[in-house]
Amino acid sequence: MTATEARGAKRKPAQIVDMSWDPITRIVGNLGIYTKIDFANREVVECHSTSSLFRGYSVFMRGKDPRDAGFITSRICGICGDNHTTCSNYAQQMAYGVKPPMLADTIVNLGEAAEYIFDHTIFQDNLVFVDFCEAMVKSTNPSVLARAERTEARNGAIHGYKTIADIMRAFNPFEGEVYKEALKVSRITREMFCLMEGRHVHPSTLYPGGVGTMPEPTTFTDYLSRLVRVIDFVKKAVAMNDDVFDFFYDALPGYEEVGRRRILLGCWGAWQNPDVCDYRYETMSEWGKAMYVTPGIVVDGKLVTNDLVDINLGIRVLLGSSYYEDWVNEQAFVTHDPLGNAVDMRHPWNQTTVPMPQKRDFSGNYSWVMSPRWYDKKSEEHLALDTGGGPLARLWSTALNGLVDTPYVKATGHSVQISLPKSEQLPEMTLEWKIPQWSNTIERDRARPYFVAYAAAMAFYFLEKAMGFVRAGETKVFENYEVPDEAIGCGFHEAVRGVLSHHLVIKDKKIANYHPYPPTPWNGSPRDMYGTPGPYEDAVMGQPIFEENGPDDFKGVDIMRTVRSFDPCLPCGVHMYLGKNQTLTKLHSPTYGAAHA
């Protein structure tokens, strides 16, 4: 809170008003945001976020055939269900001791690449950008729009828009050019997805042990011919995003403080390298580092670990304010991992979910979500990692690791270089994402189109691999296996919006315990038993307000931009209500409380 105290020197008497938005629109799932805003000093002093939905996957999975897990867990999420199926199959493949044929892993990689391109595009252009569109900026910051009209777009030669305001007009919902084009691109890329995984949202052709996708040459031709059609759009999107976001920094000095939090990023890695990955726990450290997005935990800009075994063992699911019974005195399912390391009672392998619906009580339990944290052995802290909405953590971890080296994507240690081939209108281009100064709203949003480019570039690479296998006659896509009587498994993947893990325990050939941990519980978690708040509240609380409207016609656009920058996907897990934030007492606000009148 040092920043707040420093600003306190010239603080005006607080004028605090309750402001809430419930439900939040333009996200997937149910989320409410409750804030207290100090209009005199133009900042958010308190933020609660809530989701009011409990569905109970980890409850009704128990006792089921473990091979059903990928089909069922897909239904957790209506926009990235396939990420769950993929992650579940990774966990099952470990449990069953089966390595799918290399072509099968490559087909999954192609499907997941299409998913990233589709999902980031529809979320950014059709949902996030409405907060940056002409109609919105006109109603929240007319002076910024006036400036946008006068500001030439630096990358106009690439995307074709003369001024920043022209780009903002193209973002207008249902009518702007980019909005409409993005919907069409989201369909082409979903067709690419369906070619690999059968159906979009809940795939039909993914199985533990491989895929059922027919590896005909035509399958890949149909994918390739669609991919080349969207490359112009991808290149333009990066250029347009850079222009708009750079403009916001220029037009609103201090905008970097919006949604800023300590750099605490987690990435669990994406796209297996089938040359290295055998899905065994014993070799997970090696094959994790061979993934085409490198796993890593980044704290204050430094890479703490990139080892999936460390990442796995550090996961803790904490309670503190949730509608559940504690399980810490139950019997453990897994006391040690296959390498002999001790497994904590609060690790997902040992979690038991007993829901207890009750009245929302801010002084007691008020949340359906639990609080996943990563325990850092060195600092002995339970870190409230966020995913930066997905792309920010993926690019950051990959860049720092410097391990990815393909003809299309290279990590340099401080940046990621992405090469996209010639397209209909634009020449071959190499884009470079450089590690930014902040983990904030703008950088979370800016990373998204860069990751779309990353995924499109990797799709070319995976296509070349897949067609290579097919031309060589290596067309096997499924490997058979027996479900063991007893086994454990874990899968690590990147859902579109960030870290995803599935933990599985099998007894008597049935699921004894199953816990998916998607990105949103990490990002949207409530205060844990140690009093640490989750990333949404942390990012919103204390952020400055730049909107020109007063309390009477306040839209809350700066707050909504922060919340949406995390790409909230509430069905993925979340059942939460965050309570009063205790740091409020540190604020020196003499009229606090009285101002409600």
Q: Segment 5-24, which members bind other proteins (CB under 8 A)?
A: 20-24
Q: Which two tokens stand for residue 423?
A: 């397209």
CB of 161 to other proteins, least distance (A): 20
Q: Which of 191, 286, 307, 381 binds other proteins (CB under 8 A)?
A: 191
> According to DSSP H, which parts of 141-300 are helical?
142-150, 156-159, 164-170, 177-197, 217-251, 284-289
Q: Which of 170, 195, 239, 539 binds other proteins (CB under 8 A)?
A: 195
Nearest Cα neighbor of 194 from 118, 120, 273 is: 118
Residue 396 burial (CB count, 10 A): 25
CB of 229 to other proteins, least distance (A): 13
Q: Which of 95, 194, 370, 455 binds other proteins (CB under 8 A)?
A: 194
CB of 504 to other proteins, least distance (A): 15
Could you tell me which stretch among 198-206, 287-295, 406-414, 587-595 binds other proteins (CB under 8 A)? 198-206
Residue 417 burial (CB count, 10 A): 18
Interaction of residue 53 with other proteins, rule CB under 8 A: yes
Nearer to other proteins, 433 or 514 (CB): 514
Q: Are 438 and 447 in contact (CB under 8 A)?
A: no
Q: Which of 59, 276, 328, 339 binds other proteins (CB under 8 A)?
A: 59
Relative orientation angle of helices 142-150 and 217-251, to the nearest 10 degrees: 110
Q: Which two tokens stand for residue 10?
A: 């010239």
401-407's contacts with Cβ under 8 Å and 24+ in sequence apart are: 401/289, 401/294, 401/296, 401/303, 401/306, 403/289, 403/290, 403/294, 403/306, 404/292, 404/293, 404/294, 406/292, 406/458, 406/461, 407/461
* Dist CA 472 CA 453 (whole Å): 29
Q: Which of 97, 156, 160, 198 binds other proteins (CB under 8 A)?
A: 198
SS3 569: strand
Interaction of residue 60 with other proteins, rule CB under 8 A: yes
CB of 569 to other proteins, least distance (A): 9
Interaction of residue 64 with other proteins, rule CB under 8 A: yes
Cis peptide, bond prior to residue 23, ω within 30 of zero? yes
Nearer to other proteins, 183 or 303 (CB): 183
Nearest Cα neighbor of 218 from 458, 461, 475 is: 475
Could you tell me which stretch among 46-54, 157-165, 340-348, 419-427 binds other proteins (CB under 8 A)? 46-54
Dihedral sign for Cα 281, 282, 285, 291, please: negative
Q: Which of residues 105-134 bind other proteins (CB under 8 A)?
A: 122, 126-127, 130
CB of 190 to other proteins, least distance (A): 5
Strand 264-267 with 210-211, pairing: unpaired
Q: Which of residues 425-454 bind other proteins (CB under 8 A)?
A: none
Q: Are 53 and 368 in contact (CB under 8 A)?
A: yes
Interaction of residue 52 with other proteins, rule CB under 8 A: yes
* Dist CA 91 CA 516 (whole Å): 10
Q: Which of residues 81-100 bind other proteins (CB under 8 A)?
A: 81
The footprint of other proteins on this chain (CB under 8 A) covers a number of residues equal to: 88
Nearer to other proteins, 203 or 498 (CB): 203
Return the exposure string of 247-283: e unless at least 16 CB atoms fall within 10 Å of the residue's CB, then b.
Answer: bbeebbeebbbbbbbebbbbbbbbbbbbeebbbebee
Residues 6 or more apart in contact with residue 180 via CB below 8 angstroms: 174
Q: Are 310 and 492 in contact (CB under 8 A)?
A: no
CB of 95 to other proteins, least distance (A): 15
Return left, alpha or beta for 482; rule: phi > 0 is left, psi -120 to 50 is alpha, else beta: beta
CB of 62 to other proteins, least distance (A): 7
Q: Which of 42, 262, 410, 476 binds other proteins (CB under 8 A)?
A: 476
SS3 255: helix
Nearer to other proteins, 152 or 553 (CB): 553
Q: Which of residues 531-560 bind other proteins (CB under 8 A)?
A: 555-557, 560
Could you tell me which stretch among 75-83, 372-380, 394-402, 491-499 binds other proteins (CB under 8 A)? 75-83
Interface map 256-275 toward other proteins (x if CB under 8 A): --------------------
Interaction of residue 72 with other proteins, rule CB under 8 A: yes
Q: Which of residues 203-242 bind other proteins (CB under 8 A)?
A: 203-207, 209-214, 222
Could you tell me which stretch among 4-12, 141-149, 172-180, 518-526 binds other proteins (CB under 8 A)? 172-180
Nearer to other proteins, 4 or 352 (CB): 352
CB of 76 to other proteins, least distance (A): 6
